[in-house]
Amino acid sequence: MTMTPAELEAQKDTLELLNNEVASRLTRQSDSLAKIDTKAVFLIGFAATAAQFLATHKHHDVLAYCAFAAYAVTLLTGVQTIRVAEHKDLEPRPMLADHVRSPKSQVLTALAATRASIYEKNKRRHELKARYWAVSLWSLVAGLALSTVALLLHT
């Protein structure tokens, strides 16, 4: 959608509102990514502790091996969740170079469009992290159930 400079100027308040909303949405997305990472670290730690506990106690072998496999899945998907991956963000230098002499309405349009594009790129990463975390959680639950049964059957 191309607007004339006069149309852009007339929409300055709307553009400012849209830009602010997209900026706050990017902030919320970033916070959500950080929370998923924190939860994944907790799952990894819990799985490692549970696996060590099971390894040091007498257990039913087949069920224990299945539990260890579930803990391994928890650890692997947890690491995949928190692994360092490219996170898109606004590049200040190109934005400054391209818009330093532009009217405010044109800058707001460019900012909002750039932020919306960044949000979409980060959204795919966010969804992937959430899926890995869910697999990690459910494999931990399975591991704990198998561990419990493996310990109970041995006694």
- The Cα 61–Cα 146 span in angstroms is 11
Over range 73-95, report the average pLDDT: 84
20 is written with which tokens?
Answer: 């602010």
Quote the pLDDT of residue 125: 87
Please report how many Cα atoms fall inside a 13 Å half-sphere around the Cα of residue 55, on the Cβ side.
Answer: 9
Parent domain of 90: 5-154
Per the structure, the count of domains in the chain is 1
Residue 84 has pLDDT above 70, yes or no: no
pTM of the model: 0.78
pLDDT in tens, 10-61: 777 888 888 888 888 888 988 988 899 999 999 999 999 999 999 999 988 9
Tell me, what's the pLDDT at 53? 94
| 8 Å CB contact between 11 and 3 | yes
Give the other-Cβ count within 10 Å of 41's Cβ.
14
Where would I find the H helices in 11-103? 12-55, 61-82, 92-99
Please classify residue 120 by burial: count the beta carbons closer than 10 Å to its beta carbon, then call 0-12 exposed, 13-18 middle and 19+ buried.
exposed
